[in-house]
Structure 1
Amino acid sequence: MNNLFFFLLLAASIESPTAADGSANAYIYAGCSESRYAPGSPSQINVDSLLSSLVSASSSTPYSNLTSTAASASFPSFGLFQCRGDLQPSNCADCVRSAVSSISSLCPFAAGAAVQLDGCFLRYGNDSFVGEPDTSVLYKKCGASGGGGYGPDQIGIRDAALSALTGGGGNGGAGGYRVGAAGYVQAVAQCVGDQSASECDDCVAAAVGQVRAACGYAVSGDAYLGKCYARFWTAKGVEKTLKRTKVLTHKFLSSNDLLLY
């Protein structure tokens, strides 16, 4: 088993290879395993087949997990994607295509990789991670604070919006998609579709806890965990100038330890 490790990097230093900020295809983070497969090997054939099948599936469903043994059952490739619950099918498919393009660009010949775009998440590896809970923190960022952030009397509004996401709160949807709002603060959370309802609740609660702890009086915050995320932000017009600082921590995973970009 590979050793788990921590790696710190400013995500702001990496620009999206596929999309401009503000779209469902906007790049958030990616991770690549240090282990590689040989070009033309059975592993490459299985990975290529898997990614193609995931793209095909994304036109009809917001979540799918698949296994490819196209070249050899001795080198299986496991993978999944999850689209954001409010995306239309055509936008989901476009996002997954962009995610595959990002992985191909950032992680050539990687035995395992993951990419998070604004509208979808995609991951594959040569160990079966599907169905496993994972609340490890992969990525966190916070918006403006201090003079440009919330005051102590406004934290309750933020916390009310975030509380609507936990304990089965918010509204259901694809992959446990949940939304919350209080006053001028909006929030959203989602789990990967391989998680049970209780696993999703636990993961979202952990993500909300990370946002609260990390972002203090900030006017926005995101926390992406292994199998879910939680985000909050100020409604447009309330905070006209929002400068986001991006701070990233990660801990990757079993046999496909990923180096994050």
Structure 2
Amino acid sequence: MNNLSFFLFLFSASIAYPAAADDSTSAFIYAGCSQTRYAPGSPSQLNVDSLLSSLASASFASPYSNLTSAVASAAFPAFGLFQCRGDLQPSDCAECVRSALSRISSLCPFAAGAAVQLAGCFLLYGNDSFVGKPDTSVLYKKCGAAAGAGYGPDQIGIRDAALASLTGRGNGPTAGGYRVGAAGYVQAAAQCVGDQSASQCDDCVAVAAAQLRAACGYAVAGDAYLGKCYARFWYNRNGAYNDEAYHHHHDDDETGKTAAIVIGLIAGVALLIMFLTFLRKAGSYGKD
């Protein structure tokens, strides 16, 4: 299991847009489980349980840790790591990891390997060592809505510049590689798992940014999660462009629809009154 291609299936859910800072740290993004299972009560289960417990304890002291457990049997070791978002406080990191462990327990019972990505942290374990190995496989990708109005002609260039500001930092980030960037009214963020070197992190973020450029077009936001990194961008509410203009555009459509419905109801009532008046007059004429 050299990368996350060992997953048989992925679960995924929506991400709130546009501001990363507004996301709950425990908001669910995706999870994946291996096809291979271990038997309840087996040495593999005991090693996995011990590993996950140790990762939960380590999350109080560090935003990243990788551990190995072979307490029950050296023949069936369990390897695991967690990575918290670089701007989280230690208590928030620990809470996020606990939430990730709960997700794995419910979604991937007895799985020999699993991963879960929440808005604030990433957790991965398996029965083969993956520490230090790059992985640019795309696990989850999502683009925000495309605005019908309000975009400037230079928006693609500004978005691409914001994404480009996340790469080329070979001597910068250490464990976790949390990066933020911006260009004009577009903000961006990226992070690599702490087992990646600076050059591996640059390569992974560049692939994630390329995925966003290719897939998200005129979207107001986008996220790409790869095996060992992620990148995302969103339009800043306080910049020259913000998503409020987009929502107002839709609000105007809804207002127009509502007005049309009201006018239609009024016209219908008027026709009904005219019809009843005609029937009343016709009845009176017959009596005469």
Q: TM class, shorter-chain normalised? A: 0.7 to 0.9
- 1:223 corresponds to: 224
Cα distance, 1:104–1:155 mapped onto 2, change above 3 Å: same
Q: After TM superposition, give the deviation of residue 236 of structure 1 in Å.
A: 2.9
Cα distance, 1:91–1:151 mapped onto 2, change above 3 Å: same
Provide, for residues 51-100 of structure 1, a one-character-per-residue CA deviation record: whole Å limited to 9, x for no partner.
00001001010100000001000100000000000001110011001000
Q: Please give the residue correspondences for 1:75-94 in structure 2 after superposition, counting only pairs within 5 Å.
A: 75-94=76-95
Quick check: 1:211–1:223 contact (8 Å CA) kept in 2?
Answer: yes
Segments of 5+ residues of structure 2 without an aligned counterpart are 16-21, 248-288
Q: How many residues align?
A: 235
- 2:243 corresponds to: 239
Q: Aligned AA for 1:239?
A: D
Q: Please give the residue correspondences for 1:21-32 in structure 2 after superposition, counting only pairs within 5 Å.
A: 22-32=23-33
Q: After TM superposition, give the deviation of residue 163 of structure 1 in Å.
A: 1.0
Quick check: 2:176–2:194 contact (8 Å CA) kept in 1?
Answer: yes
- 1:177 corresponds to: 178
- 1:37 corresponds to: 38
- 2:97 corresponds to: 96
What is the identity percentage for the equivalent residue pairs of Structure 1 and Structure 2? 77
CA distance in 1 between counterparts of 2:243 and 2:6 reads 37
CA distance in 2 between counterparts of 1:156 and 1:224 reads 22
Q: Alignment partner of 2:243: what SS?
A: coil
Measured on the aligned residues, the alpha-carbon RMSD in Å equals 2.6
- 2:72 corresponds to: 71
2:119 pairs with 1:118: yes
Higher Cα Rg, which structure? 2
CA distance in 1 between counterparts of 2:8 and 2:48 reads 26
CA distance in 2 between counterparts of 1:140 and 1:33 reads 20
CA distance in 1 between counterparts of 2:174 and 2:156 reads 27
Higher relative contact order (CA 8 A, sep 6+): 1
- 2:169 corresponds to: 168
CA distance in 2 between counterparts of 1:218 and 1:28 reads 19
Q: Alignment partner of 2:188: what SS?
A: strand
TM, length-normalised to structure 2: 0.76
Q: After TM superposition, give the deviation of residue 150 of structure 1 in Å.
A: 4.2
CA distance in 1 between counterparts of 2:48 and 2:130 reads 15
Q: Alignment partner of 1:93: what SS?
A: helix
After superposing the two structures, state which structure 1 stretch, 144-153 or 55-64, moved more. 144-153
Cα distance, 1:70–1:9 mapped onto 2, change above 3 Å: closer
Quick check: 1:151–1:217 contact (8 Å CA) kept in 2?
Answer: no
Q: After TM superposition, give the deviation of residue 34 of structure 1 in Å.
A: 1.0
- 2:159 corresponds to: 158
Q: Alignment partner of 2:148: what SS?
A: helix
- 1:247 corresponds to: none
Cα distance, 1:162–1:170 mapped onto 2, change above 3 Å: farther
CA distance in 1 between counterparts of 2:151 and 2:7 reads 31
After superposing the two structures, state which structure 1 stretch, 142-151 or 73-82, moved more. 142-151
CA distance in 2 between counterparts of 1:193 and 1:13 reads 25
Quick check: 2:143–2:216 contact (8 Å CA) kept in 1?
Answer: yes
Cα distance, 1:94–1:170 mapped onto 2, change above 3 Å: farther
Cα distance, 1:137–1:150 mapped onto 2, change above 3 Å: farther
Cα distance, 1:56–1:206 mapped onto 2, change above 3 Å: same
CA distance in 1 between counterparts of 2:179 and 2:129 reads 27
Provide, for residues 89-138 of structure 1, a one-character-per-residue CA deviation record: whole Å limited to 9, x for no partner.
11001100100010001000000000000000000000111111001111
Q: After TM superposition, give the deviation of residue 180 of structure 1 in Å.
A: 0.3
Q: Aligned AA for 2:206?
A: A
Cα distance, 1:149–1:198 mapped onto 2, change above 3 Å: farther
After superposing the two structures, state which structure 1 stretch, 119-128 or 169-178, moved more. 169-178
Q: Aligned AA for 1:67?
A: T
Q: Aligned AA for 1:26?
A: A
CA distance in 2 between counterparts of 1:7 and 1:149 reads 42
Q: After TM superposition, give the deviation of residue 11 of structure 1 in Å.
A: 2.9
